């Protein structure tokens, strides 16, 4: 390869002179152009060889250092770790999430360092020596796995003997209906009750009347509960406060294309012509006109005179009215 490089160096010197002659106006022959093309191809081949050698060197470096049991080498020559492993060459295991004072030999372990215990290695096994948690002169006793207990003096209690036997305990925790008795951990002179929502009183003994403000509308009945109420709606209303008027026209009760008007627990139908009834279901009978032609009365002096009568007959009537052309009005009765 060194001879190739020396040859390339001599050729570059020659090419430099040849290019200088071109710049000064000297014309190049065919042999000179062929030399230039050959030199360019050799240089490109050299660059490609160097790049390939660099990539192979990277790949060899990854495979030599990467822990292939915990990862693999990608095309870029980088070590890609499997889940549970980390580090430049996948040499470190990942500890269990939340592990404070511990390490691991395999993924997701939490092996506690000396002086620590617990699932997350967060409990000091020398807590009674380093940071004694017991209060009010109590004695700290180490149990195991980072746990401890406090031996409380007379008149105190609690996990760390932080609570004193005070007014709440002496009164037998008197707060009612779930109320919380408070006496500053026994150091107060008296107790107070913190009531749950819906109760009042010194000992939370009274249930607040949630119907006092009359929240139900339209004559509904209010039923009191614990920090709540319910409304019993009358017919025709619904909703949380009985404020919604039920649409009685929703079922389309009106017939024969009648228009429906919603009312309170009722409806009205505007019937079209020819129908009647609550829902316009009854058809009304239309009058029928009948014309009769008959001769004039015999007493009439005009022998050629005749009379025409018109009868109006209704289906719901037993009689009819007859109107004569000569001005007289007659009424006829028809049997049923």
Q: What is the pLDDT of residues 22-77, one digit of tens each?
A: 444 444 455 667 777 777 777 887 777 666 555 544 445 787 889 888 999 988 88
Please tell me the distance from the alpha carbon of residue 195 to that of residue 178, in angstroms, as a whole number. Answer: 7
Query: Tokens 């707060």 correspond to what residue?
Result: 175
Domain membership of residue 102 (yes or no) is no
Q: Which CATH number is 271's domain given? A: 2.10.25.10
Domain co-membership, 292 together with 272: no
Structure tokens at 331: 């009424």
Domain membership flag for residue 54: no
Of 189, 207, 225, the last residue of a domain is 207
Same domain, 259 and 318: no
Mark whether 300 and 331 lie in a shared domain.
yes
Please tell me the predicted confidence (pLDDT) of residue 301. Answer: 53
Domain that holds residue 259: 247-284
- Maximum distance among all alpha carbons in the chain? 163
Mean pLDDT to the nearest integer, 229-243: 95
The answer to whether residue 196 sits within a structural domain is: yes
Q: Is residue 192 part of a domain?
A: yes
Domain count, the chain: 4
pLDDT band at 315 (very low <50, low <70, confident <90, very high): very low
* Alpha carbon separation from 257 to 221, 238, 263, 267, 274 (Å, rounded): 38, 28, 19, 15, 12
Radius of gyration of the chain (CA): 56
Q: Are residues 231 and 291 both part of a single domain? A: no
Does residue 233 fall inside a structural domain?
A: yes
9 domain residue, yes or no:
no
Please say whether the beta carbons of 204 and 191 come within 8 A: no
- Look at residue 4 and tell me if it is in a domain: no
Structure confidence by residue, pLDDT tens digits, 254-288:
999 999 999 989 999 999 999 999 999 999 877 66
Report, as an integer, the average pLDDT of 294-302. 54
Inter-helix orientation angle 2-23/30-65, to 10°: 140
Residues 242 and 271 in one domain: no
Mean pLDDT of 138-146: 84
| Same-domain status, 137 and 203 | yes
Q: 79: part of which helix (H) or strand (E)?
A: strand 79-81
Alpha-helix runs per DSSP H in 68-209: 127-130, 167-170
């Amino acid at each position: 390869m060194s001879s190739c490089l020396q040859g390339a160096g001599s050729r570059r010197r020659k090419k430099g002179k040849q290019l200088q002659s071109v710049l000064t106006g000297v014309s190049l022959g065919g042999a000179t152009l062929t030399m230039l093309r050959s030199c360019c191809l050799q240089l490109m081949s050299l660059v490609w060889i160097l790049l390939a050698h660099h990539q192979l060197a990277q790949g060899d470096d990854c495979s030599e250092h990467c822990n292939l049991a915990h990862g693999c080498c990608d095309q870029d020559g980088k070590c890609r770790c499997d889940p549970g492993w980390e580090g430049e060459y996948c040499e470190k295991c990942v500890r269990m999430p939340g592990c404070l004072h511990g390490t691991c030999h395999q993924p997701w372990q939490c092996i506690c360092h000396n002086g620590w215990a617990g699932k997350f290695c967060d409990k000091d096994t020398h807590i009674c020596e380093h940071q004694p948690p017991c209060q009010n002169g109590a004695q700290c006793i180490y149990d195991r796995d980072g746990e401890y207990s406090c031996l409380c003096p007379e008149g105190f209690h609690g996990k760390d003997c932080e609570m004193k036997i005070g007014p709440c305990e002496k009164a037998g925790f008197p707060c009612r209906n779930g109320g919380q008795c408070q006496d500053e951990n026994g150091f107060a002179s008296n107790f107070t009750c913190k009531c749950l929502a819906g109760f009042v009183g010194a000992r939370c003994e009274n249930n607040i009347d949630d119907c006092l403000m009359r929240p139900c509308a339209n004559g509904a009945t209010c039923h009191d509960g614990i920090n709540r109420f319910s409304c019993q709606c009358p017919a025709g209303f619904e909703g949380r406060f009985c404020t919604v008027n039920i649409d009685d026209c929703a079922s389309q009760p009106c017939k024969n294309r009648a228009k429906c008007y919603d009312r309170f627990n009722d409806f009205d139908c505007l019937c079209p012509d020819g129908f009647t009834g609550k829902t316009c279901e009854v058809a009304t009978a239309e009058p029928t006109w009948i014309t009769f032609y008959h001769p004039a009365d015999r007493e009439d002096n005009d022998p050629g005179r005749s009379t025409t009568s018109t009868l109006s007959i209704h289906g719901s009537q037993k009689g009819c009215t007859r109107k004569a052309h000569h001005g007289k009005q007659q009424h006829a009765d028809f049997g049923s």
